[in-house]
Structure 1
């Protein structure tokens, strides 16, 4: 987040150096908190805490520390397979002086991810409708071409007639193949 808000917007060398210093301090704080967490987790393991309790306190990996892409970069692409790391799904709001801020941050992460999931669901729902309509349009186009060549086949010259029949058969075959394959695809969409 600091990279986006501070480092990218730095207009001078002094400001850039200060911004990178802020990033390094933030990374140091995160690393320190992760070490504290890992030490506490290790203590729980050495105390032979139940497996059920330990499932809540997983090992923190680098990928778990990444902030949701929608918070860092709102209008990005390629987020279809992203999920919220386990760390952000925990209900671990601390009871401190800044409790309201902690709750606000956790709720904003939940809200952004819920909105992102809903938007993704809506996009896929729209995509399914578009694909179904495109299937209908393709079938209609093949039928139109077949009918068009049927009309052209009424030409008095033999060569035109033969060519039109060949084209009519080709477009009819396209239509049959498409209808067969589309029916399989539509069954898969339900």
Structure 2
């Protein structure tokens, strides 16, 4: 009888450790996704500002081709930043929580 209790105790301990590792892995993944989202938005904003500087610099010297290309790039990165921000705001914390609970 003590042997079966010992075996069950070991079984529950192993099961608990596995569940804890899955939970920890998902928490780490959540942190990474949040960081990647924030990084992507910051990068898109940065590139839009850089292309705006190029656009304004070439406006002064009268290079219309470069100005147009820089304007197009600036708009592309601005739209990417806006799109990423909208997606970020649309994400719901309960979605992440549901996935965590489902995997455990």
Q: When the two structures are superposed, what TM-score results if normalisation uses the length of structure 1? A: 0.46
Matched, 1:159 2:99: no
Question: Partner of 2:84 in structure 1?
Answer: 178
Q: What is the CA-CA distance between 1:186 and the residue it aligns to?
A: 4.4
Q: After superposition, what is the alpha-carbon deviation per residue over 1:60-94, rounded to whole angstroms, capped at 9, x for unaligned?
A: xxxxxxxxxxxxxxxxxxxxxxxxxxxxxxxxxxx
Structure 2's unaligned 5+ residue stretches are 98-104
Please say which structure displays the higher CA radius of gyration: 1
Q: Does structure 2 retain, via aligned residues, the 8 Å contact 1:132–1:186?
A: no
Q: Distance in 1 between matches of 2:68 and 2:48?
A: 14
In structure 2, the CA distance between the partners of 1:168 and 1:136, relative to structure 1 (3 Å rule), is same
* Number of positions where the alignment pairs a residue of Structure 1 with one of Structure 2: 92
Task: Report the secondary structure of 1:109's partner residue.
Answer: helix
Higher helix share: 2
Q: CA RMSD in A?
A: 1.4
Aligned residue for 1:111? Answer: 13
Aligned residues of 1:139 and 1:178 also touching (Cα < 8 A): yes
If asked which structure has higher relative contact order (CA below 8 Å, sep 6+), I would say 2
What TM-score, normalized by structure 2, do the two folds share? Answer: 0.81
Alpha-carbon distance in structure 2 between the residues aligned to 1:171 and 1:177: 10
Aligned structure 1 segments of 4 or more residues deviating by more than 2 angstroms = 186-190
